[in-house]
Amino acid sequence: MKKIIPILFVVALISCNKQSDQIQALQKRVDSLEKKVAESYKPGFGEFMSGIQVHHNKLWFAGQNENWKLADFEIHEIMEAVDNIKKYQKDRKESEMIDMLNPALDNLNIAIKEKDPKLFKSSFISLTNTCNTCHRKTEFEFNVVKIPDQPPLSNQDFRNQLEKNRAEN
């Protein structure tokens, strides 16, 4: 028994050292992964805003052409970008203000679901004005949003395809 106790003590010490080495190795891996995550690419605020600007433009032309499926797609792209701003740019003061767009987006979403061109136009104007209000409140008043007067891309047909097919037949 006297010989067993020292042997157990030595085994316990070796076991503790192994655990300590494993913990240190795991901590190094965690530190390395945290560094990689911190250095990984995340879109900047301007990239999100540029995306919203394109979707805002496309949304206008989709609504003007009563292409409600495309309008629904574009408004959801804007909503997704707003969510991503809150997720990836949460430390910016502008991100704290972005929720002011929600009522205007909700009203525009209703207009799209109801396929109501008149409500769409007034809701789109409200969204555009809200964008400009947000820009002023965040000291980006030099970024003025307006109702688009031409599509952002020349290679997209904004017409409702069902209506287009009827007109062609």
> pLDDT (tens digit, 9 = 90+) per residue, 94-115?
899 999 999 999 999 999 999 9
> Which residues does 56 contact at the CB level (< 8 Å), separation at least 6?
78, 127, 128, 131, 145, 148
Tens digits of residue pLDDT in 44-66: 999 999 999 999 999 999 999 99
Q: Is the confidence at residue 152, as pLDDT, over 60? A: yes
- How close are the terminal C-alpha atoms of the chain, in Å? 101
pLDDT digits (tens, 9 = 90+) for 124-145: 999 999 999 999 999 999 999 9
pLDDT at site 165:
63
d(CA 20, CA 27): 10
